[in-house]
């Protein structure tokens, strides 16, 4: 198999040291004036692939290893947009987005197919400012930039996406306190669920290894715009992401960047130890939880992250029920008493529960109650809610006291129907084989509510 590897570096113009076999795309940024570029490193001198731009970075490689997506701007005070270029035909440059707010973190995702489509359409993923408010969100569009739609609707920043082989997208989602969690969503925005449970820490993007996922932790702030640097590295199993999250390595007093796990199991990571002035690429000995030998660097350049790129199978496409002519979707729960929290001990003690639905406004950052519905005796509920709106839920007793309250935000896409097993239940539970009372009844309709402020 013919393979390319991508390495991400901040650079100047001096000779590099270290030996890495194969071909590499290198992201470089000057220490002196902020210029950045992507170059091709082969056996000879590096080739600048983004010579038209003042700043270029965040590349992604197509499955056939012939094209790259990247974020770039032509002027220092310009706005980053998404571009595509063939690696070998450097004159073949295409601009994909043209947004006033800019775009970043592009990725190739699988095709999308609606029931009324004549053929599946390829999709490109990127991060940009939400259409409502100032937070960042995930968007998809076609390769020519058309049919652009927002697919995440958090009240706070979403970013650092990575595409899984099954076509799902894992990304970092921020909470109100600046901490983050890892969520996964389809390329049409449906079926959003937790992907991994770690500590309440500021996390960076995920890297996909041979048997584990890797993620940076301890980012200094909640800004998802630029390249991330963390204080430690965590990992979790590909086969069991929801139950295997653990710290793998930390670098006291230093900085770490996004790692690369090679096919032979070696790990390449950008690191700046406490006794060094700049970041270089090192081999990481994960069994001993320590940095091994330096792998690549360049005088005056910070080498800060690595991502292997090789010929691969195309990402799987997804079919979609989303209909943007609709304005609502459905959420249901099988049993609110299925819980790892306070609700677990209330079965049989609490009856006549009600579910209050809270909507958020990303522009004003205010919340409003859009109504409440009864919870069935078996703990199930079924509700129709506005689409593409941040939502959270509060469980209340017959005495109107709060029993449980969701602190993170969820949403539905137009015409989506999505469910959960319980109220913050064990995420590894299988769906029980029972017919919930609420499911056989029409959904309570809160899609056109008379909103009231929520304290």
Q: What per-residue confidence (pLDDT) applies to 224? A: 41
Domain boundary among 319, 347, 374: 319
Q: What per-residue confidence (pLDDT) applies to 309? A: 59
Out of 23-37, 119-133, 141-155, 417-431, least confident range: 23-37
**Pair 303, 204 in one domain:** yes
Please say if the pLDDT value at position 362 is more than 80: yes
Residue 385 structure tokens: 């809610």
Domain count, the chain: 2
**Pair 344, 390 in one domain:** yes
**Pair 289, 411 in one domain:** no
As a whole number of angstroms, the distance between CA 135 and CA 197 comes to 23
Domain boundary among 278, 303, 319: 319
**Pair 400, 295 in one domain:** no
**Pair 282, 420 in one domain:** no
Query: What is the tens place of the pLDDT at every residue in 42-69?
Result: 766 778 888 999 998 888 999 998 999 9
**Pair 315, 325 in one domain:** no
- Written as one string, the DSSP assignment of 250-299 is E-TTSEE---EE-TTS-EEEEEE-TT-SS-EEEEEETTTTEEEEEEEEET
Rounded mean pLDDT of 82-90?
Answer: 88
Cα–chain center distance at 20: 29
Which CATH number goes with the domain that contains 402? 2.60.40.2190
Which residues make beta-bridge pairs with 269?
282
List the domain range (segments joined by +) for residue 254.
3-319
**Pair 291, 390 in one domain:** no
**Pair 357, 391 in one domain:** yes
Classify strands 381-386 and 280-285 as parallel, antiparallel or unpaired. unpaired
Domain boundary among 319, 338, 362: 319
**Pair 300, 261 in one domain:** yes
- Mean pLDDT, the chain, rounded, equals 85
Residue 300 structure tokens: 């005056």
Which CATH number goes with the domain that contains 286? 2.120.10.30
**Pair 315, 328 in one domain:** no
Query: Which pLDDT band, with edges at 50, 70 and 90, does 73 fall under?
Result: very high
Cα–Cα–Cα angle for 119, 411, 133, rounded to 5 degrees: 100
**Pair 136, 67 in one domain:** yes
Q: What per-residue confidence (pLDDT) applies to 266? A: 86
**Pair 310, 336 in one domain:** no
Please say if the pLDDT value at position 221 is more than 90: no
Q: What per-residue confidence (pLDDT) applies to 382? A: 97
Name which of 124, 159, 132, 121 is nearest 319 in CA terms. 121
């Amino acid at each position: 198999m013919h393979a390319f590897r991508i390495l991400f570096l901040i650079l100047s113009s001096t000779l590099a040291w270290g030996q890495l076999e194969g071909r590499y795309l290198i992201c470089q940024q000057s220490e002196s004036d902020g210029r950045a570029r992507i170059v091709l490193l082969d056996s000879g001198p590096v080739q600048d692939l983004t010579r038209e731009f003042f700043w270029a970075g965040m590349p992604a490689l197509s499955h056939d290893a012939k094209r790259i997506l990247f974020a770039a701007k032509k002027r220092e005070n310009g706005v980053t947009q998404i571009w595509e270029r063939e690696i070998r035909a450097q004159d073949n440059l295409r601009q994909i987005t043209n947004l006033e707010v800019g775009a970043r973190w592009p990725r190739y995702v699988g095709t999308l197919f609606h029931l009324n489509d004549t053929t599946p359409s390829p999709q490109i993923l990127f991060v940009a400012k939400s259409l409502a408010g100032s937070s960042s969100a995930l968007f998809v569009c076609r390769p020519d930039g058309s049919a652009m739609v927002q697919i995440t609707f958090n009240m706070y920043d979403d970013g650092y996406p990575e595409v899984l082989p099954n076509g799902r997208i894992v990304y970092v989602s921020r909470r109100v306190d600046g901490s983050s969690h890892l969520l996964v969503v389809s390329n049409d925005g449906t079926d959003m669920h937790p992907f991994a449970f770690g500590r309440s820490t500021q996390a960076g993007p995920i890297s996909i290894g041979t048997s584990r996922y890797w993620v940076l932790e301890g980012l200094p702030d909640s800004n998802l715009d630029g390249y991330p640097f963390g204080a430690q590295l965590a990992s979790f199993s590909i086969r069991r992401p929801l139950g295997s999250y653990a710290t793998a390595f930390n670098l006291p007093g230093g900085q770490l960047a996004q790692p690369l796990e090679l096919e032979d199991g070696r790990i390449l990571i950008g690191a700046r130890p406490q006794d060094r002035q700049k970041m270089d690429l090192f081999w990481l000995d994960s069994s001993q939880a320590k940095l091994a030998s330096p792998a690549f660097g360049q005088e005056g350049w910070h080498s800060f992250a690595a991502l292997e790129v090789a010929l691969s199978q195309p990402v799987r496409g997804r079919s979609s029920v989303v209909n943007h002519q609709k304005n609502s979707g459905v959420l249901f729960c099988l049993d609110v008493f299925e819980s790892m929290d306070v609700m677990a001990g209330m079965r049989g003690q609490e009856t006549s529960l009600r579910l209050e639905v809270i909507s958020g406004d990303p522009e004003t950052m205010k919340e409003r109650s859009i109504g409440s519905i009864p919870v069935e005796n078996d703990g199930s509920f079924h509700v129709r809610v506005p689409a593409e709106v941040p939502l959270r839920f509060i469980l209340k007793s017959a005495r109107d006291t709060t029993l449980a309250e969701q602190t993170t935000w969820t949403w539905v896409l137009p015409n989506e129907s999505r469910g959960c097993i319980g109220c913050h239940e064990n995420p590894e539970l299988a769906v029980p084989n029972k017919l919930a009372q609420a499911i056989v009844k029409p959904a309570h309709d809160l899609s056109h509510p008379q909103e009231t402020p929520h304290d």
